């Protein structure tokens, strides 16, 4: 019995040992399979990475090309802008040269450049009352001649008008489409005529009449002047110098700041002569006190209305240039701060009162 039990125990032990061995083999196989799968995945990933590497290189190359192209485009645009700026600055800085022309007049043209300039400048002055320094034939397109009228102020051209005329007879139109005949001697400039005899110039070059100050809400126009003439202090002036109300608005002159509320209103009248008296009104630089810009340029010495001294100090300079004797007078008008009396910096300009 005891032997039977020993045999049975030995058999059970042997069976258990065999089971343990089988389980160990299965476990090793599973682990081996797992390791093999992981290795396979790693190998596949590495292969995919190797496959993707050329695509990444292509992307990097494309990105580099794009960056290079963008840089080239930017450089080109910058260069173009720079060239354009240089050309603009060169064009703006280039002044016209009076008397020089890059074309020739046709053989059948009855005028030369000098006579064209004379007729154009004379026509402009006769119809506007404004002087102009230069009137130059600028180009020829078929039969049509372009004539440019301009001044050169502070090293810059200041255009006044363009005439487009047939070179055979100098008839055509201006920049606004109005008909022009540059050989016409008709004068349309306003002038008071004999009414100017109401002013006693004595021995002076001209006269100045103070008309008061503008209201804060007034614009510098005919209504403003009409209101000034209606003031009790000006009633006698309006009757005695009747032409004041007839002065056209193109003869209203306002230096910088002069058309603001509180500005002084003056009538300025050059003394009439047998020859034209040129009038020039310039702004005054408040920092330096020097004249800096031309704001009015009359060829005929007609009376004009001046709105000035918005700050209570002269902001303009007037010059009378007489062609009769070839000399000039430069002055300013103002109201004395202490006495409120109208004043002039030149004793040869009479203050009317």
pLDDT in tens, the chain (353 residues): 444 444 444 445 445 445 444 444 444 444 444 444 444 444 444 444 434 444 444 444 444 444 444 444 344 444 443 433 333 333 344 677 888 898 999 999 999 999 999 999 999 988 888 778 899 999 999 999 999 999 887 677 878 899 999 999 999 999 999 999 999 988 888 889 899 999 999 989 999 999 998 876 778 888 889 999 999 989 999 999 999 999 998 899 888 655 565 689 999 999 887 556 778 888 888 788 888 877 888 877 889 999 998 777 888 999 998 776 778 899 999 999 899 999 999 999 999 98
In a domain, residue 118? The reply is yes
Let me know whether 224 and 166 are in one domain: no
Let me know whether 297 and 161 are in one domain: no
Let me know whether 204 and 314 are in one domain: yes
Whole-model pTM? 0.61
- Distances in Å between the Cα of 218 and the Cα atoms of 212, 264, 307 are 13, 12, 12
Let me know whether 259 and 127 are in one domain: no
For position 34, what pLDDT does the model report? 42
Let me know whether 340 and 250 are in one domain: yes
In a domain, residue 41? The reply is no
In a domain, residue 56? The reply is no
Let me know whether 227 and 329 are in one domain: yes
Let me know whether 302 and 225 are in one domain: yes
In a domain, residue 290? The reply is yes
Let me know whether 320 and 235 are in one domain: yes
In a domain, residue 211? The reply is yes
Let me know whether 242 and 279 are in one domain: yes
In angstroms, the CA 228 to CA 313 distance is: 21
Let me know whether 204 and 293 are in one domain: yes
User: Which residues have C-beta within 8 Å of that of residue 344, sequence separation ≥ 6?
Assistant: 208, 331, 332, 333, 334, 351
Let me know whether 149 and 197 are in one domain: no
In angstroms, the CA 25 to CA 153 distance is: 109
In a domain, residue 19? The reply is no
Domain boundary among 121, 146, 181: 181
Let me know whether 170 and 300 are in one domain: no
For position 130, what pLDDT does the model report? 79
Q: How many domains does the chain have?
A: 2
In angstroms, the CA 121 to CA 134 distance is: 7
Phi, then psi, of 105 in degrees rounded to 5: -80, 145
In a domain, residue 293? The reply is yes
Exposure string of 206-241, with b = 16+ CB inside 10 Å and e = fewer, is bbbbbbebbeeebebeeebbebbbeeeebeebbeeb
8 A C-beta contact, residue 116 and residue 147: yes
Domain boundary among 181, 214, 229: 181
In a domain, residue 67? The reply is no
Q: Which domain holds residue 294?
A: 193-352
């Amino acid at each position: 019995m005891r032997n039977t039990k020993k045999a049975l125990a030995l058999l059970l032990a042997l069976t258990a040992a065999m089971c343990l061995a089988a389980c160990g083999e299965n476990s090793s196989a599973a682990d081996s399979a797992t390791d093999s799968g992981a290795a396979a995945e790693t190998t596949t990933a590495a292969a995919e990475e190797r496959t993707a590497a050329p695509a990444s290189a292509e992307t990097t190359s494309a990105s580099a090309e794009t960056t290079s192209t963008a840089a080239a485009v930017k450089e080109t645009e910058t260069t173009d802008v720079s060239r354009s700026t240089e050309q603009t600055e060169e064009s703006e800085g280039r002044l016209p040269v009076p008397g020089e022309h890059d074309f020739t007049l046709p053989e059948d043209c009855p005028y030369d450049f000098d006579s064209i300039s004379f007729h154009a400048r004379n026509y402009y002055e006769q119809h506007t009352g404004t002087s102009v320094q230069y009137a130059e034939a600028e180009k020829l397109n078929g039969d049509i001649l372009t004539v440019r009228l301009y001044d050169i102020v502070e090293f810059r051209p200041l255009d006044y008008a363009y005439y487009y005329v047939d070179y055979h007879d100098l008839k055509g139109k201006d920049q606004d489409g109005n008909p022009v005949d540059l050989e016409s001697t008709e004068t349309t400039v306003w002038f008071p005529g004999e009414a100017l005899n109401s002013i006693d110039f004595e021995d002076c070059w001209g006269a100045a009449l103070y008309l008061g100050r503008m209201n804060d809400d007034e614009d510098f126009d005919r209504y403003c002047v009409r209101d000034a003439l209606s003031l009790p202090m000006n009633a006698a002036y309006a009757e005695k110098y009747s032409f004041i109300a007839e002065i056209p608005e193109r003869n209203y002159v306002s230096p910088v700041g002069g058309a603001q509320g509180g500005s002084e209103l003056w009538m300025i009248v050059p003394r009439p002569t047998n020859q034209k008296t040129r009038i020039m009104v310039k702004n005054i630089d408040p920092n330096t006190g020097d004249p800096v810009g031309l704001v009015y340029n009359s060829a005929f010495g007609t009376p004009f209305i001046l709105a000035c001294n918005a700050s209570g100090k002269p902001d303009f300079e007037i010059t009378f240039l007489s062609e009769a004797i070839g000399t000039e007078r430069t002055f300013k008008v103002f109201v004395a701060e202490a006495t409120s009396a109208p004043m002039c910096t030149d004793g040869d300009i009479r203050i009317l009162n």
